[in-house]
Amino acid sequence: MGLQVPKLSGALRRTLRVALLGVTMLVLAGCSEADTHQIRNLAMPDRASAQGPYTYELWKWAWVAAMITGIIVWGLIFYAVVRFRRRSDDEVPRQTRYNLPLEVFYTIAPVLMCVVFFFHTVRVQDELTKLDANPDLTVEVTGQQWSWTFNHGIGEQDTSATGEDGDFAYDEYVYTSGTGRDIPTLVLPVDQTIQFNLHSPDVIHDFGVPSFLMKMDVIPGRVNKMQVKPTVEGTYAGKCYELCGVSHSRMLFNVEVVSQAEYDAYLADLAEAGQTAQAPLIGGSYVNDQAGLDDDSEGTSE
Ligand SMILES: [Cu+2]
């Protein structure tokens, strides 16, 4: 006799079916609106930047590709389990080895899949790291252990400035700076292409805003540049994406995307509060003698 599968009685089968339906409904009903939103977004935040959809589409289609692969693999597994199951106690099914076409297939198929993933990853990466030679504004960002300093330029922007070796795009800056205890807010105007020049005086950090679906390493000794165009006004959360030391988890900041008028008013407020500087606060040799980047920045002290 073959494998003994116990036959379920009709009544038992009906009971099981009702129970399964009940459990499914309970699980689905347990999903809050936020959960369903998350599921529909494939666990990604709503896109709040012009760059966001590129990252999101890559993420979405990677899931689709993984799902198709999964369904094929699961299908083949179940097919093999059923089709080639042991049918007798004293007989072993035909053992197949060294099937050359099959081996060629399962070597080439994953390589082809990686090629497709790689191609689209590079395509999206090129799109995200593309730099407009004339961004609407440039913000000098400093990631320091353990917070952020944001330097906004005042007046005319010199787009030929490199952001390196003291060559900055503006003659005057206003700034805001946080500590590990008191997280800073980055205010940005909506629908403007904003260039972030990223500076670090100490270790590698990573500047990113989940809702923009963009992030970039902040590396000491070099200035990485990233451009983002926020498209939706609102308040977002930003953070350091690179484990940079003991208080890495405190390297949070808020992002407020506002209208151009509100942005201008914000810069005026900072200037009025005396948070002005001739050059952006970027740490390095500035770290001990510039406001906002003094020892107080180390939120873990005391
Ligand atoms: Cu960090």
Tokens of 51: 């760059």
Please report the pLDDT score of residue 76 as a whole number: 93
Task: Map out the domains of the chain as residue ranges.
Answer: 10-40, 48-129, 137-297
Which tokens in the block code for residue 17? 């079916």
How would you class 284 by CB atoms within 10 Å of its CB: exposed for 0-12, middle for 13-18, buried for 19 or more? middle
Q: 143 has which bridge partners?
A: 148
- Distance, CA 254 to ligand 1 centroid (Å)? 15
Bridge partners, 218 (sequence order): 205
| 220 CA → ligand 1 middle, Å | 12
Fold of 137-297: Immunoglobulin-like (2.60.40)
Place of tokens 């990677």: 62
Q: What is the pTM of this model?
A: 0.80
Q: Is the CB of residue 65 less than 8 Å from the CB of residue 113?
A: yes
For residue range 270-294, list pLDDT tens digits in order. 999 999 998 898 875 555 555 555 5
Report how far ligand 1's centroid is from the alpha carbon of 188 (Å).
21
Classify 48-129 by CATH class.
Answer: mainly alpha
pLDDT at res. 70: 95
Ligand 1 center from residue 240 Cα (angstroms): 5
User: What per-residue confidence (pLDDT) applies to 270?
Assistant: 95
Q: Which residues of 253-274 are buried (b: 16+ CB within 10 A; e: fewer)?
A: bebbbbeeeebeebbeebeeee
Q: Which pLDDT does position 7 carry in this prediction?
A: 60
Task: Give which of 168, 179, 164 is closest to 298, Cα–Cα.
Answer: 179
- If you measure from the C-alpha of residue 284 to the centroid of ligand 1, how many angstroms do you get, rounded to a whole number? 15
Q: How many angstroms does the Cα of residue 204 sit away from the middle of ligand 1?
A: 7
User: Ligand 1 center to residue 138 CA distance, Å?
Assistant: 21
pLDDT of 53 reads 94
Q: How far is the CA of 245 from the centre of ligand 1 (A)?
A: 7
In whole numbers, what is the pLDDT of the chain averaged over residues?
A: 87
- What pLDDT, on a 0 to 100 scale, did the predictor assign at position 298? 45
Question: 79: CA distance to ligand 1 center in Å?
Answer: 50
CA–centroid distance, residue 176 to ligand 1 (Å): 17
Quick one: pLDDT at residue 25?
78
Q: How far is CA 254 from CA 9, 80, 147, 148, 298, in A?
A: 61, 53, 12, 10, 18
CA of 248 to the centre of ligand 1 (A): 5
How far away, in angstroms, is 75 Cα from ligand 1 center?
45
* Structure confidence at residue 93 (pLDDT): 76
CA of 217 to the centre of ligand 1 (A): 9
Residues of the chain with pLDDT under 50: 1-2, 295-302
Q: What does the pLDDT read at residue 1?
A: 44
Please tell me the distance between residue 230's alpha carbon and the centre of ligand 1 in angstroms.
23
Q: What is the whole-number distance in angstroms between the Cα of residue 120 and the centre of ligand 1?
A: 29
Residues whose Cβ atom is located within 5 A of ion ligand 1: 205, 240, 244, 251
